[in-house]
Chain A
Amino acid sequence: MSAFLGTVNPGFVLVVIGLIGLVVPVQRVRQGLMIIAPLIGMFMLANAQQDTNLMTAQALGIDLILYRVDNLNFIFGLAFLIAALLNAIYAMHTDDRLQDGMAMAYAGAAVAAAFAGDLMTLFVFWELTAVSSVFLILRAGTRAAYFASMRYLAIQILSGVLLLDGIAYVYKSTNSLTIEAFTSLNEPGAMFIFLAVGIKAAFPFLHNWLQDSYPKATVVGAVVLSAFTTKLAVLTCARLFPGFEILIWIGAVMTIFPVFFAVIENDLRKVLAYSLNNQVGFMICAIGVADLTTEYGRLAMNGAAAHAFAHIIYKALLFMSMGAVLYRTGTAKANELGGLYKSMPFTTVFCLIGAASISAFPLFSGFVAKSLTMSAVAHEGYIIAWLMLLFASAGVLEHSGIKIPYFAFFGHDSGKRVQEAPFNMLLAMGIAAAICILVGLPTFMGLGYGWLYNLLPYPTEANGYQPFTAEHILTQMQLLMLAILAFILLKRFGLYPPEKPGTILDTDWTYRKLGFGFATWASTVWAKAGPAMSRVSATVAGRAFDRIEEAFSPRGQLSRGPLSGGMAIWTAALLGMAMLLSFITVGAAR
């Protein structure tokens, strides 16, 4: 039985159980299924043989590899399954069939795509992630969520269409759809697929769908969304474009720009969305350095994978804590929150653990994960990129390490006294927090960072790296403690910008305001100009007809008087003569 289960893509099981969940009316039965599904998935993954085509099919003469586990996608798939389990537990206080089912189908699609061995299978599940996840935004039930979900769907589908375009070129040139790394963006289809990945990974200027939609999703939906789409894109990027230097700069920019938006953003779930963008930047940068022929290139790939694993857990934890706050207080706006440590102590502790992890404090998961990337970038000599990542590390502390917990749970007391989060939410947060700590500790009894490093794509290189050196701890603590000191001083001297309600403009202004405004203006102008132009053309045509008729009709000017009549007779006579001559000449020629 376990041998059979080891040959089925666990994502398929999650998708099927998710779809079954849509029609199971009994809340506890449905939610039991949602918890069992990722556990089954983990069992299946544990029994899967690596680097073998475990499940294949053929369609339209194309060989499809539906399930293939390798040293890279294993850790992503495992992280997706853990996230699916946490999400299912976190959602237990709600009775929402659509949300439960679609959340699991979405997780399943991401898992299935992660283990896809060919581009067409990847495409199918790439699109399924888009279609299933949109419901998590729609279920928020607001007008804003509706518009955001439509924009989200359009952009995600665009990503899918670009992927399909790229696949067509790849198939035409190689006659194979097996997932293999490109060597250049000039290869047929590479640029299309690169753009498709760029949209889903939220590259700079392609990122707005993320900050637009995630903060408008349901309490549970935002947690679910945070785990899968962008990390699936990171995995795809790692499989197809490792060592592409352009990714170093794209990633470095991705780590920097969200820091500035997060500083002035008031909605704490949107701050987390910007923070997500920033964290994915580290992974993309690592993939750019990951020339797999070199030792440090492989270390960089380890960095991307370790960061993705740690990030999926601590980002989910932070979204869960903000979700709990939103669920209990009805707001996630920094200017309306504060002092919640008095009534939500457990949520506060879990949020602080998530904050410490994402800030990469020693003994937390971010510390052992991010340092792999930083070391690889430094070793390969990318000074500017390294300084940018170091700047972004202080920025992460600002927006996720301090801003989120400080303004929600401490800071100015909002006077809100609410109940602690429901038990299921606390349980999910507790498990996530435990993983953040267990992964971040020195190796002991098979746990600690050694456990994570052994799961990485290149465990030999990973285990050759020591995160807990005096030098590394000292430099990291210098960075973090002096940044905390800066925060305290800026607050003390009133130099920290106050949290104000408002909409912060981002580059989506170009299509949400400028583009929409232009389309509205063009439509208004056309609505007025169209009938006017019709009237003008009708008038001109009518007048022209009148003039022509006046001149040439039987009643017209040219038909009147002896001259016109004579002309007609002469014309008929000349035509008759011409015909006669032609008959004669043709007859003579014969």
Chain B
Amino acid sequence: MSETKAPERDETGRFVKTDEAPLPLSADEMHPVSKILFGWVSAKATPSIFLWGTILISVALVLIDYGMNRHDYMGFANFNGFYAFWGFGAFAIAVLSGWPLGKLLRRSEDYYGEGDATPKDAAGQGEGE
């Protein structure tokens, strides 16, 4: 039989809120709701399904464009697949720019010499639960 710990009190006799017990989850376990909502995420086939699903949807969206007579305010935007091209290109440029920009702009974590910025009310910083 497990021993029941008496609730802690401070010097004035008021109950002190203690840390909540950590959820008994091991590295291999999942929250019950996670299993229902996101159980599929860790399946082996998920990355491939995501990739091919996205490709199929993307192709379908461009094909639908051919069957639609759009009336954009910008004439050049009526070109079939313009938004698809722009979305892909803009995203790729933004992400790929991260390589040179990271090299150019990234410095050590305490570059300004002001120390760690993790607030005290975050877990493990002294005041969090």
Are A495 and B86 in contact (CB-based, < 8 A)?
no
Does A398 count as interface, using CB distance less than 8 angstroms? yes
Q: Kindly report which residue of chain B lies nearest to residue A497, judged by CB atoms.
A: B98
Are A329 and B123 in contact (CB-based, < 8 A)?
yes
Does B18 count as interface, using CB distance less than 8 angstroms? no
Q: How far is the CA of A345 from the CA of B123 in the complex (A)?
A: 18
Are B85 and A259 in contact (CB-based, < 8 A)?
no
Q: 0/1 per residue, A249-280, Cβ < 8 Å to B?
A: 00000000001100110010000000000000
Interface size class of A (residues with CB under 8 A): 35 or more
Partner of A327, one of B37, B55, B65, B123: B123
Does A143 count as interface, using CB distance less than 8 angstroms? yes
Q: Kindly report which residue of chain B lies nearest to residue A484, judged by CB atoms.
A: B54
Does A407 count as interface, using CB distance less than 8 angstroms? no
Q: How far is the CA of A307 from the CA of B30 in the complex (A)?
A: 37
Q: Kindly report which residue of chain B lies nearest to residue A487, judged by CB atoms.
A: B91
Q: How far is the CA of A220 from the CA of B122 in the complex (A)?
A: 10
Distance to closest chain B CB from A248 (angstroms): 15
Are A143 and B90 in contact (CB-based, < 8 A)?
no
Within 8 A of A (CB), among B57-109: 57-58, 61-62, 64-65, 68, 70-74, 77, 81, 83-88, 90-99, 101-102, 105-109
Number of interface residues of B (CB under 8 A): 74
List of A residues within 8 angstroms of B41 by Cβ: 341, 410
Distance to closest chain B CB from A347 (angstroms): 10
Q: How far is the CA of A271 from the CA of B84 in the complex (A)?
A: 25
Q: Kindly report which residue of chain A lies nearest to residue B57, judged by CB atoms.
A: A481
Q: How far is the CA of A329 from the CA of B81 in the complex (A)?
A: 43
Are A503 and B102 in contact (CB-based, < 8 A)?
no
Are B117 and A216 in contact (CB-based, < 8 A)?
yes
Partner of A260, one of B20, B51, B101, B125: B101
A148, A342, A496, A501 pick with most chain B CB within 10 angstroms: A342
Does B8 count as interface, using CB distance less than 8 angstroms? no
Does B23 count as interface, using CB distance less than 8 angstroms? yes
Partner of A216, one of B65, B74, B94, B119: B119
Does B3 count as interface, using CB distance less than 8 angstroms? no
Are B121 and A140 in contact (CB-based, < 8 A)?
yes
Are A476 and B25 in contact (CB-based, < 8 A)?
no
Distance to closest chain B CB from A483 (angstroms): 4
Distance to closest chain B CB from A513 (angstroms): 7
Partner of A341, one of B25, B38, B77, B118: B38
Partner of A142, one of B85, B93, B107, B116: B116
Does B10 count as interface, using CB distance less than 8 angstroms? no
Within 8 A of B (CB), among A353-397: 375, 378-379, 381, 383, 386-387, 390-391, 393-395, 397
Are A327 and B87 in contact (CB-based, < 8 A)?
no
Does A541 count as interface, using CB distance less than 8 angstroms? no
Does B5 count as interface, using CB distance less than 8 angstroms? no
Q: How far is the CA of A490 from the CA of B87 in the complex (A)?
A: 14
Given A144-B116, A342-B30, A264:B98 Cβ within 8 A = yes
Q: Kindly report which residue of chain A lies nearest to residue B123, judged by CB atoms.
A: A330
Given A142-B120, A503-B108, A496:B34 Cβ within 8 A = no
Within 8 A of B (CB), among A479-528: 479-490, 492, 495-497, 500-506, 512-513
Partner of A395, one of B57, B94, B116, B120: B94
Q: Kindly report which residue of chain A lies nearest to residue B86, judged by CB atoms.
A: A390
Q: How far is the CA of A436 from the CA of B116 in the complex (A)?
A: 34
Given A144-B115, A482-B58, A417:B83 Cβ within 8 A = no
Are A415 and B117 in contact (CB-based, < 8 A)?
no
Does B26 count as interface, using CB distance less than 8 angstroms? yes
Partner of B91, one of A148, A386, A486: A486
Does A349 count as interface, using CB distance less than 8 angstroms? yes
Q: Kindly report which residue of chain B lies nearest to residue A383, judged by CB atoms.
A: B74
Distance to closest chain A CB from B51 (angstroms): 5
Are B107 and A375 in contact (CB-based, < 8 A)?
no
Are B122 and A326 in contact (CB-based, < 8 A)?
yes
List of A residues within 8 angstroms of B123 by Cβ: 326-330, 418
List of A residues within 8 angstroms of B77 by Cβ: 378, 475
Are B50 and A488 in contact (CB-based, < 8 A)?
yes
Are B105 and A417 in contact (CB-based, < 8 A)?
no
Given A142-B115, A326-B122, A503-B107, A394:B71 Cβ within 8 A = no
Does A94 count as interface, using CB distance less than 8 angstroms? yes
List of B residues within 8 angstroms of A419 by Cβ: 20, 22-23
Partner of B88, one of A139, A415, A485, A497: A485
Does A176 count as interface, using CB distance less than 8 angstroms? no
Are A479 and B105 in contact (CB-based, < 8 A)?
no
Distance to closest chain B CB from A73 (angstroms): 30
Are B105 and A470 in contact (CB-based, < 8 A)?
no
Partner of A345, one of B29, B37, B90, B125: B37
Are A343 and B87 in contact (CB-based, < 8 A)?
no
Q: How far is the CA of A144 from the CA of B99 in the complex (A)?
A: 28
Distance to closest chain A CB from B96 (angstroms): 7
Are B86 and A481 in contact (CB-based, < 8 A)?
no
List of B residues within 8 angstroms of A383 by Cβ: 74
List of B residues within 8 angstroms of A505 by Cβ: 105-107, 111
List of A residues within 8 angstroms of B50 by Cβ: 488
Distance to closest chain B CB from A378 (angstroms): 4
List of B residues within 8 angstroms of A391 by Cβ: 86, 90, 93-94
Q: How far is the CA of A490 from the CA of B81 in the complex (A)?
A: 21
List of A residues within 8 angstroms of B72 by Cβ: 378, 471, 475
A/B interface sample: 15 pairs, CB < 8 A:
A140-B121, A218-B119, A218-B120, A220-B121, A264-B102, A341-B38, A342-B31, A391-B94, A398-B91, A419-B23, A474-B61, A482-B58, A496-B98, A503-B107, A503-B109
Q: Beyond A143-B115, A503-B111: 5 further Cβ-contacts under 8 Å?
A: A390-B83, A391-B90, A418-B23, A478-B83, A481-B54
Binding site for B on A (CB under 8 A): 93-94, 96, 139-145, 147-148, 215-221, 259-260, 263-264, 267, 326-331, 341-346, 348-349, 375, 378-379, 381, 383, 386-387, 390-391, 393-395, 397-398, 410, 415, 417-420, 422, 470-471, 474-490, 492, 495-497, 500-506, 512-513
